[in-house]
Structure 1
Amino acid sequence: MTTFESLGLNEPLLKGIQDLGFTSPTPIQEKAIPVLLGGDRDFVGLAQTGTGKTAAFGLPLLHQLDVKVRQPQGLILCPTRELCLQITSDLKNFSKYLGDVNIVAVYGGSSIVQQLRDLKRGAQVVVATPGRLLDIIERKAINFDNVRYAILDEADEMLNMGFQEDINSILSNTPETKTTWLFSATMPQEVRRISKKYMTDPFELTVGSKNTGNANIEHEYYVVRPRDKYAALKRIVDYNPDIFSIIFTRTKIETQEIAESLIRDGYNADAIHGDLTQQQRDKVMKRFREKAIQILVATDVAARGIDVDNVTHVINYELPDDVENYTHRSGRTARAGKSGISIAIVSARDLGKIRQIERTLGKKFTKAEVPDGFAVCEKKLFSLVHKVHNVTVNEDQIEPYLERINEEFASMSKEELIKRFASLEFNQFLEYYQNAPDLNAKEDRRDRAFGDENTMSRGYGKFTRLFINLGSVDDLNRGDMLRYLCDTTGLRGNKIGRIDLKGVYSFFEVENDVVDQVTQSFKTAEYNGRSVRIEMSQDGDKRRSGGGGRRDDGPRRRTWSGGEGGERRSYSDRRESSGGSRPPFKRKY
């Protein structure tokens, strides 16, 4: 068996690793560390999240530091504040016995003045998010002349978040003689271009297959009607009493709303997203790591860098726009060799996305059924039974009360006592799930085409897909587009489905029964003095158009980009059956 000692690391690092309880390297560490200890070759490492990439680049970097030089020798770029702090914490733990090593985290949302002070004290390693580091570079408050190693961690996500120009600017300020190490979970073309631009004959290492998921993760999906998603979410959570999970949504608004609804419904939940201050985010993450929070609701961006042990489930309340993001989401579970489950709650028209993810990951998803009320009650009951069976009894503390307890139960037989005790919780769930409806939706083969082979005819389900000659070049985002569509047509947001925003044009969906109203509304519509045109999105020659005549060369390819939707959802209808609006009890984790 390979050990850290056999990889060639120095004694102070080995002692730090031993204190952390690491016994043997992960595959990415075992293969990358010997190469990186050479110190003079560019490197590309591809491995899934949770496989130990931080130690794979962090240990060789620390091994080769000159602690006497009080200038940055290593620069690590990462996409988010959470990941920045996580890497910094790991490196500080690794370097515990190295001597006077100063590792400084530079990220937005915190005092730049304090970060500047930390840098002036002499930092050998700087861990930074691109935006904040550019601010510091512009202040001429950092000297990169001694940088020997530039490391891009989660490179694919940094590019997805639009940091390519920032990365170019930062790397252009570093010496040409530096060595560049790039680590990523996936290898899209944008990452490949960066490697070609900034690297010379890099050593490329892939642990597992490119763009594939962690082998220890099981993938499941539940097909429900859109209106039943929240009820299905709660039922899945209730069916897994010991769940410790992250729920992913598309937008900050949806993240906050779902978290608040879960809290009102008695679940130990909270949200993390970009609108929170750094202090708020740190507080939420501290509670989640301590398991004071059982369910964390998060956006993709906010969840990057969440390295929390023993996450049992990742739940995709909405599937992401990109397959790569699904890989990153699911990687929040099954970390450090553990197993986990990634769940997607989808409607029938999302099945094409599932197939596309399956093809990319090379793994088959299991179609699961949302459990019925009886199954949930049974699961909760036996979870309680197991807890009672395994509870640790504090003999000294309970001894003074045993006599009174025994007197209280003296008239009951063992069987009667067990029934009454179990019924305390079971009755509440039984009442809550009485007459609970079947939440499973039937798959419609017509809906499978969505996202499959990238094509789709005009009508599916109860929605119709329309083309509009407005896009991101008109300074519109999906929320702006939704507001414009509602204002122009007089429709409520729940009548409008997905918005697929492109450059000079976009696609949007409306319910079939309002198509005529929409086309009539756009016959004379304008945007910033320009005539607006809409058309049916279809492959045939027959198209219905409004406000501008026919369009014979309009795009008719369906792509996977569901968009934010923009619609504010309400989760106030939390009760699955009549007779109440509150959940059965406050859950404790």
Structure 2
Amino acid sequence: MSTFKELGLNDEILKALTDLGYETPSEIQEKAVPQVISSTQDLKAFAQTGTGKTAAFSLPVLQKLDTNSKATQAIILSPTRELAVQIGKNIESFSKYMKGVNVLTVYGGANIEEQIRGLRKGVQIVVGTPGRTVDLIKRGKLKLENVQWLILDEADEMLNMGFKDELDQVLEVTPVEKQTLLFSATFPREVESIARNYMDDPMEITAGQKNKGSDNVTNEYYMVTERNRYPALRRICDANPDIYGIVFCRTKRETAQVADNLIQDGYNADALHGDLSQAQRDGVMQKFRNKSLQMLVATDVAARGLDVNNLTHVINYKLPDQIEAYTHRSGRTGRAGNKGLSIAIITNKELSKLRPIERKINKKFEKKDVPSGEEICKSQLFSLINNVKETEVNHKQIDSYLESIYSSLEGLDREELIQKFVSVEFNKFLKHYANSRDLNEAERSRTDERGKSRDDENMTRFFINLGRKDDLNPGKLIGLINQQEITDNVEIGQIEILDTFSFFELDKNFTDETISAFEGADFNGRSVNVEITQKKKRSGGGGRGRRDRRGGSEDRRGRGRRYEGGNRSERRSGGRSDRNDSRRRDGDSKDNRRSSDRPDRSDRSDRSAGFGRRRN
């Protein structure tokens, strides 16, 4: 393998690379840097995410840059603000020993007047998102007549996000005689259209196999029912105490909901999506990079350009619509020579979506069982013991307290002291997973031999004498259940709100506790009556239910909409419900798939923008 010096880079750049810890070039850098330095031929370059594409195109540009001129000589376009900011910062780091190099990053959501003032001072390299770049061109503030390099980073994603018109407008104001560099991690048909329309006889280089998944990433999947999707995510996280990863969702609404659930369950987590301001996004990313956050829940677009090298897991809470997007997701882990794990949580009907992905990445998914409560407790226990064993004692800080501590613990023998210490840290997991269900068995038993849906035998169905006319909705019913403090871990299942009464399901292990807890309860000044009712037979009918009375039985009829406890999370508030819109399946609508996260398109909003976090 060659060195950076052998690639033809000057001493100033080499010194900066040494400061950054760069030792040897990656495959894409080794191929691209000499080519761009020695030639003006257009270039298509393909490499997996996390292999150093930014350095591959920016280092040769810096090498050939005319630092005596303040004219804009290079324009770099990227699909998202995060990626643009990261590219700009990298170029500043690479050029810190070069005198007279000015770099400016322009993107929507930031003060455009400040960006205009930056352009007036003169910048040789402009990094921008397509929307803001076109805006500055139309205002006459960004002049590209002297551009020598046009660089399209993640060009496939720019097309997927609908930026073709913006790309055309930028191309119209750049000189014919320029070098166009296209860098991408995937190679769909749309990239070929870019090459035909925007490039002149481009040379093509490839680092690794096109679209092939990283060899450092293992791909696994867990099959669950829809209602157990979040409980499965929680168990996967609990079974990996040192997890540091990204959970990918398909919509902003889902992203906010999953992040809120993880926070409620004690994880240092946050959401990253298109509704956040730039300051909020920067704050979230800063906390994630310094590991103040353990879990980042993100949409595909918002997560593009993340420069984090030590992720242990990427979890696909929902599979992406486009196969190429899975490559981008999984490429967030297994970087810089580290091993990584990419997990997909799917339902039975989503199993067929894995096969095209396997063909694209040329790797197989391995089926895994959702961890049991016993497995999780064991994993957490030994992680705790290992952390204690590896912890260094800071005598300077604690020695003054030791005498009092020893006195307080006097009389406890070694075994008893260890048992009590472990229990302090460990009891919450033992309590949470006591009598926990097998989520895999729930999936296996959900359908009979003919594939017909069957009732969940692990739940008890209850009647409650409140309905819509009492101002009851699923959220308020969940809150009412929580107020009774039945247990910390009760699972909430289906919820059905009718006009004058309703039904809900709870874990059958807490049936007696539920009846007792609701004795004497009230809602908005009205006495609450809760009774066990029979399981509702599944049919095409409306809101009909039958409940048992000690003296017989009676039918109650009402018109209502059926609600599913959306996540049925394994905690008291885990049954938070969303209204199932008849136009949506699996939590997404067709309109949401690409409008859920569009940078620089403030006039295009998510159809589900009205969602707000709810804490019980």
Query: 2:225 matched to which residue of 1?
Result: 225
Residue pair 1:252, 1:275 contacting (<8 A) in 2 also: yes
Query: 1:307 matched to which residue of 2?
Result: 307
Residue pair 1:349, 1:461 contacting (<8 A) in 2 also: no
Give the drift of 1:442.
7.9
Query: 2:124 matched to which residue of 1?
Result: 124
Query: 1:574 matched to which residue of 2?
Result: 569
**Corresponding letter in the other structure for 2:157:** E
Query: 1:550 matched to which residue of 2?
Result: none
Residue pair 1:265, 1:582 contacting (<8 A) in 2 also: no
Query: 2:515 matched to which residue of 1?
Result: none
Query: 2:62 matched to which residue of 1?
Result: 62
**Corresponding letter in the other structure for 1:31:** K
CA spacing shift, 1:408–1:248, aligned 2, 3 Å: same
Distance 1:516 1:403 in 2: 72
CA spacing shift, 1:218–1:76, aligned 2, 3 Å: same
Query: 1:165 matched to which residue of 2?
Result: 165
CA spacing shift, 1:232–1:443, aligned 2, 3 Å: closer
Which structure has the larger Rg over C-alpha atoms? 2
* Greater Cα shift, 11-20 or 206-215: 206-215
CA spacing shift, 1:442–1:47, aligned 2, 3 Å: farther
Residue pair 1:254, 1:568 contacting (<8 A) in 2 also: no
Query: 1:560 matched to which residue of 2?
Result: none
Distance 1:159 1:514 in 2: 45
Give the drift of 1:334.
1.4
Query: 1:208 matched to which residue of 2?
Result: 208
**Corresponding letter in the other structure for 2:363:** K
Residue pair 2:16, 2:95 contacting (<8 A) in 1 also: yes
Residue pair 1:246, 1:313 contacting (<8 A) in 2 also: yes
Query: 1:531 matched to which residue of 2?
Result: none
Residue pair 1:223, 1:442 contacting (<8 A) in 2 also: no
Once the two structures are superposed, the pairs formed by residues 94-133 of structure 1 within 5 Å of their partners are: 94-133=94-133
Give the drift of 1:262.
1.4
Distance 2:263 2:563 in 1: 18
Give the drift of 1:515.
7.3
**Corresponding letter in the other structure for 2:314:** V
Distance 1:327 1:383 in 2: 31
Distance 1:124 1:255 in 2: 38
Q: Say whether residues 1:355 and 2:355 are aligned partners.
A: yes
Distance 1:184 1:360 in 2: 15
Distance 1:191 1:375 in 2: 46
Distance 2:195 2:181 in 1: 9
Distance 1:401 1:158 in 2: 59
**Corresponding letter in the other structure for 1:249:** C
Query: 2:277 matched to which residue of 1?
Result: 277
Distance 1:274 1:58 in 2: 27
Q: Say whether residues 1:412 and 2:407 are aligned partners.
A: no
Give the drift of 1:514.
7.4
- What is the percent sequence identity of the aligned residues? 51
Distance 2:271 2:416 in 1: 43
The DSSP-based 3-state class of the residue aligned with 1:402 is helix
Distance 1:570 1:112 in 2: 44
**Corresponding letter in the other structure for 2:281:** R
CA spacing shift, 1:216–1:400, aligned 2, 3 Å: same
Give the drift of 1:401.
1.0
* Greater Cα shift, 340-349 or 424-433: 424-433
Distance 1:515 1:168 in 2: 52
Once the two structures are superposed, the pairs formed by residues 440-459 of structure 1 within 5 Å of their partners are: 440=440
Give the drift of 1:571.
5.6
Once the two structures are superposed, the pairs formed by residues 242-253 of structure 1 within 5 Å of their partners are: 242-253=242-253
Distance 1:112 1:332 in 2: 31
**Corresponding letter in the other structure for 1:327:** T
Q: Say whether residues 1:82 and 2:82 are aligned partners.
A: yes
Query: 1:47 matched to which residue of 2?
Result: 47
Give the drift of 1:568.
11
Distance 1:441 1:306 in 2: 37
Give the drift of 1:140.
1.0
Distance 2:400 2:570 in 1: 42
Query: 1:586 matched to which residue of 2?
Result: none
Give the drift of 1:575.
2.7
CA RMSD, Structure 1 to Structure 2 (Å): 2.4
Residue pair 1:45, 1:182 contacting (<8 A) in 2 also: yes
Please list the CA deviations of residues 130-151 of structure 1 after superposition, one character each: whole Å capped at 9, or x if unmatched.
0111111110111111100000
Distance 1:441 1:362 in 2: 30
**Corresponding letter in the other structure for 2:264:** R
Distance 1:254 1:570 in 2: 14
Give the drift of 1:72.
0.8
Distance 2:389 2:323 in 1: 43
The DSSP-based 3-state class of the residue aligned with 1:201 is coil
Distance 1:409 1:582 in 2: 39
Query: 1:402 matched to which residue of 2?
Result: 402
**Corresponding letter in the other structure for 2:411:** S
**Corresponding letter in the other structure for 1:139:** R
Residue pair 1:149, 1:180 contacting (<8 A) in 2 also: yes
Q: Say whether residues 1:294 and 2:294 are aligned partners.
A: yes
Query: 2:37 matched to which residue of 1?
Result: 37
Please list the CA deviations of residues 309-332 of structure 1 after superposition, one character each: whole Å capped at 9, or x if unmatched.
211111000000010001111111
The DSSP-based 3-state class of the residue aligned with 2:354 is helix
Residue pair 1:254, 1:569 contacting (<8 A) in 2 also: no
The DSSP-based 3-state class of the residue aligned with 1:388 is helix
Once the two structures are superposed, the pairs formed by residues 253-264 of structure 1 within 5 Å of their partners are: 253-264=253-264
**Corresponding letter in the other structure for 1:299:** T
Residue pair 2:244, 2:312 contacting (<8 A) in 1 also: yes
CA spacing shift, 1:568–1:124, aligned 2, 3 Å: farther
CA spacing shift, 1:234–1:442, aligned 2, 3 Å: closer
Please list the CA deviations of residues 396-441 of structure 1 after superposition, one character each: whole Å capped at 9, or x if unmatched.
1111111112222231222221111112122221111011111116
**Corresponding letter in the other structure for 1:200:** D
Please list the CA deviations of residues 190-248 of structure 1 after superposition, one character each: whole Å capped at 9, or x if unmatched.
11111122212211111111111111111010000110011000000000001011111
**Corresponding letter in the other structure for 2:200:** T
**Corresponding letter in the other structure for 2:359:** R
- Count of residues paired in the alignment: 473
The DSSP-based 3-state class of the residue aligned with 1:79 is coil
Please list the CA deviations of residues 547-586 of structure 1 after superposition, one character each: whole Å capped at 9, or x if unmatched.
xxxxxxxxxxxxxxxxxxxx9986674335xxx5589xxx
Extract unaligned runs of 5+ from structure 2. Answer: 455-495, 498-536, 543-561, 576-616
Give the drift of 1:167.
0.7
